[in-house]
Amino acid sequence: MSYVFLSDTLPVAAKQYVCWLCGLPILKGKLHIKRAAVFEGHVCSTRMHTECENHTRGWSQDDWEDYGNIPREFRQMFGITEPDRPKVYVLCNAGHPVGAYSDKSKAVKALENRPDWRLQEVTWEDQ
């Protein structure tokens, strides 16, 4: 597995993103880390809460492989609980997620005229 770090930036979220580490929303308007890298020959980027990225300072490559891609274990390891993050309302079509909202009324509105879609309320324990 090849990984080459390119850069970190600290943008303000122009829309809602998902933290690669904890799997929870990065809300629009929040500062966060955007990391660019080359993974397996492909340029990619990930986004993380600044506080989540702070937990990884000093991690080895093995730590990243063990904990960096399992959001539930990451949250449990650092005691990240539901009050620290909002609920997410996920739109599903045929059991597959097709969109996510932090505002339930917007999620319900997005379901209009989509009889096959379902709304799933997700808390930090579900992700």
Confirm if 22 and 35 have CB atoms less than 8 A apart.
no
Say what the pTM is.
Answer: 0.59
**Domain spans, the chain:** 3-81, 88-126
For the stretch 2-32, pLDDT in tens is 778 899 999 999 998 888 888 888 889 999 9
For the stretch 65-108, pLDDT in tens is 776 667 777 877 777 765 455 677 887 877 777 777 777 888 88
Under the banding of pLDDT at 50, 70 and 90, the label for residue 34 is very high
Domain over 3-81 is classified CATH 3.30.1760: no
Q: Which two tokens stand for residue 87?
A: 């609920």
CB neighbour class for 117 (10 Å; exposed up to 12, middle 13-18, buried from 19)? middle
Residue 123: pLDDT above 70?
no
